[in-house]
Structure formats: structure tokens, C-alpha cells
Amino acid sequence: MHIFVTGGSGQTGPAVVAGLIAAGHTVTGLARSDAAASRLESLGATPHRGSVEDLDSLRSGAEAADGVLHMAYGGDYADPEALVRRDCTAIEAIGQALAGSDRPFVVTSGTLVTKTGRVSTELDAPDPDSVAAFRIRSEQTCLDLAERGVRAGVVRLAPTVHGPGDYGFIPALIAGARRAGVSAYIGDGANRWPAVHRFDAAGLFRLTLEKAPAGSVLHGAGEGAVTIKSVAEQIGQVLDIPAVSLTLDQAAEHLGNPFLARFFSLDAPVSSEHTQALLGWAPEHATLLEDLRTGDYFTPEASARAEAVWLRPHN
């Protein structure tokens, strides 16, 4: 297939693009800058100049493709309503181009839309009170396209997609530990956190494009319940510092970001059994704790990336 991809030059996107091409597909990637275009070309993809705000560029990219993968999602998280409006408008524009074609259209969401405190499955409705509830409208906008002849599906990624060059939540924990000389968890640290290796996530996106039925909701979680305490202890072992329990307020100061502290306090386990059975997806790459032992998480560059992203106010 020829796949049109948004977000192909971001953190997870290059692995997805490379995986699609390795499997014999061709890829055109949305590029809003020369740097993004060069990155896509280096992966073997064809750049398509535009942005998620440029609806004509989205429609033309989708019209020329056999399927679409929408991963681009960014902006000011202090204004989630604006993020949602922009994302839903982009999804609608792509959906218009694909309507009646039965071509696949896969949209990215996150497992944190599910209910906390229990193991959530792909068949559970999203929780309107969840920390990521602002993503629910995007999910539904995509899934509604199934009634308009689009093979629409949603992949909910784990909040930690780990691998080389990660600048997400885990590097922020490491950067905080370096600054404070202790590795922190909140309360007893028994709260559970899903994770997936970037290459396993890439494989899931490919399989979803290739064979997921219309209306599918899938969980991109190679591990459904890694305890935050185990992560903090692994960080402490590598840095040779103690792992300690903090209150939520103490963690906000420790991490330099109340938003991060709230996230790391969540008990948000999920299952991906349905996803694995439906698509034959079998996560095979390093677990999160293995990656913390063998990956590039403890380089000065990794901490600098995390601090550049997270040491600023978030609501």
C-alpha cells in the first residue's frame, strides 16, 4: 500500500515510517519544515509539504494514498480544547477524502483515556473524567467515519513509548533524580503504568493499517502494569542514589512540573490481549526496565532533552 503519514518525523514516527517501508509499503509523510522533509527523505519516504492546519494539504495527501496514519498531535497542552478542535478538524478533512473508499485510516490516542484503578481493555468505553479525556473526541470523530465507508480505527498508545532518543515522561524522572540526588515515586509506588517499545508500537501501526476491521480500538501496550516504584528503583540503581517516596506536592517540586507529578501518581493499567489476538501483534523488544538498563536514558543529552520539554509550567 501507499500510506500517507502525519507525524512521521516526530519521536515515534520515524520508526513507524521505517517499519512500513521495510514491510514493502511506500510512504508519503506530511512535512511542515525543511528539517522534517529531510528526516522523511532519509527514511525513504516522500515529503508532502503542509501541516495539520492546512486542510487542503491533508485532503490531497489522503486522496493519493491507499491508507492514512495520523500521528501528529502537538501544540500548547495548556489549551487542550484548542488541540482537540484542531485535531478533529484534521481528522474530518482526511475522512472526507477517504469516504466511501473502504481505505484504512488510523488515528493515534492514548491509553490514559481509560478508567484508572483497574485493568482497562480495548472494549471498555473511555472515561470522560480521565486525565486524557480531551483525546476522546478525536477517537470518536475517527470511529464515526466507519459509517461513511472508511476502515477507521484508533490505536491507544501507552503513555511511555520507550526507545532511543526518548524525551517523554521517563527521562523527566531521570532528570529530576539527577537534580535532587534521589529517585522518586509517589506514595507506596504501587501504581501501575503501561509501556511499549517504539519498535513494537511501529509494528502495531503497520498491522492496524493492513488488517484491523473498521471501528477497531486497539491498545499499544507491550506491558500493561509496570509499577512506578520499580521504575524509580531501576533509575536509582543506575545512578547509585536511593529511591524514596514523596507526596504528590513534593513530587511536583521534585520534577519541576505539577502536570508530571499528577501523571506519575496515576494507577492506569491496561490490557492489550484483544489487540494481540485480533492482529497477531506480539511485542518482542526490550521491556521498559530492560531499556533503562541498556538504553541511552542516562546520557547527559537525554536529561537535557527532558528538561527542555518538561521544566516549564503545565496545567
Nearest Cα to Cα of residue 103 among 140, 64, 138: 64
Q: Which architecture characterizes domain 2-160+196-222 according to CATH?
A: 3-Layer(aba) Sandwich (3.40)
Nearest Cα to Cα of residue 131 among 255, 37, 263: 263
227-239: burial string, b at 16+ Cβ within 10 Å, e else:
bbbbbbbbbbeeb
pLDDT at 31: 97
Strands (DSSP E) contained in the chain are 2-6, 26-31, 46-49, 67-70, 104-110, 151-157, 160-162, 183-186, 192-197, 216-220, 223-227, 243-246
Give 301: exposed, middle or buried? Use CB within 10 Å, 0-12, 13-18, 19+.
Answer: exposed
Does the pTM surpass 0.75? The reply is yes
pLDDT at 315: 44
Question: Using CA atoms, how far apart are residues 13 and 193, in angstroms rounded to an integer?
Answer: 22
pLDDT at 81: 86
Classify domain 162-195+224-269+285-310 at the CATH class level. Answer: alpha beta
**H, E, C per residue of 128-152:** CCCCCHHHHHHHHHHHHHHHHCCEE
Q: Phi/psi zone of residue 215: left (φ > 0), alpha (ψ -120 to 50 degrees), beta?
A: left
Question: Domain residues of the chain, as ranges?
Answer: 2-160+196-222, 162-195+224-269+285-310
Per-residue model confidence as pLDDT tens for the chain (315 residues): 999 999 999 889 999 999 999 999 999 999 999 999 999 999 999 999 999 999 999 999 999 999 999 999 866 666 778 889 999 999 999 999 999 999 999 999 999 999 999 999 999 999 999 999 999 999 999 999 999 999 999 999 999 999 988 888 899 999 999 999 999 999 999 999 999 999 999 999 999 999 999 999 999 999 999 999 999 999 999 999 999 999 999 999 999 989 889 999 999 999 999 999 999 999 999 999 999 998 789 988 888 888 887 775 544
Q: How far is CA 70 from CA 56, 152, 156, in A?
A: 15, 11, 12
pLDDT at 312: 57
pLDDT at 77: 64
| Dihedral sign from CA coordinates of 59, 61, 66, 72 | negative
Give 174: exposed, middle or buried? Use CB within 10 Å, 0-12, 13-18, 19+.
Answer: buried
